[in-house]
Chain A
Amino acid sequence: AQSVTQLDSQVPVFEEAPVELRCNYSSSVSVYLFWYVQYPNQGLQLLLKYLSGSTLVKGINGFEAEFNKSQTSFHLRKPSVHISDTAEYFCAVSEGSASKIIFGSGTRLSIRP
């Protein structure tokens, strides 16, 4: 069965600094990988997804992630964060069609001015 581990529950960074949110997954088959963002009292919004092809995926709001099959990782990065990036970020994995999407426990990104 697939699972997702987000190693950091909270990540504080200064505004305009780079950030990396870590995500590792486990699965016995090929996977689809996702990053979602959740603002307070809101639903989840898709940031980016990896289905196949290029391992570097670019998403909205300047975020990108790199799929590393050998390390079973899908870390999220942004070169320069903004106050508006303050939110909870969830990594998720699916084993393909007709398979559930499993979420990690989330990483709270807090931006300091």
Chain B
Amino acid sequence: NAGVMQNPRHLVRRRGQEARLRCSPMKGHSHVYWYRQLPEEGLKFMVYLQKENIIDESGMPKERFSAEFPKEGPSILRIQQVVRGDSAAYFCASSPPLQGNTEAFFGQGTRLTVV
């Protein structure tokens, strides 16, 4: 059973471009969380999704950021018109249905660098 897979591991974008970060949850998991980690800081919650539903997006910036978790395929975190301040590590975690968030399994992260 493969773990949570995030790709790409490293992503470089120029200011103004779009960044698309992908997260494939563990097999059988239907809950996905996205977190952002700035250098020397902790993990900041961004969004919590179930299949085809956004459960909690209270940590998402109001503009330029969006997330989806379609019925088929990976969860996508999209950042439009990236700026230098978006440079960070973005982590995805997944948890199984019925157990809700009694345990979240993390991916290796995508390190976004905006130049």
Q: Cβ of B42 and Cβ of A100 under 8 Å apart? A: no
Question: Chain A residue with minimal CB distance to B98?
Answer: A97
Is A42 engaged at the interface, CB distance under 8 Å to the other chain?
Answer: yes
Q: Cβ of A102 and Cβ of B45 under 8 Å apart? A: yes
Interface segment out of the listed A11-19, A61-69, A76-84, A103-111 = A103-111
Tally of chain A residues near chain B (CB < 8 A): 24
Q: Which residues of B contact A (CB under 8 A)?
A: 4, 33, 35, 41-45, 48, 55-56, 58-59, 91, 93, 100-109
- Beyond contacts A90-B42, A100-B45, A103-B45: 18 other A-B pairs, Cβ-Cβ < 8 A, are A6-B42, A43-B4, A43-B91, A43-B106, A43-B108, A44-B106, A46-B105, A49-B102, A51-B102, A90-B43, A96-B101, A97-B100, A97-B101, A99-B56, A101-B33, A103-B42, A105-B41, A105-B42
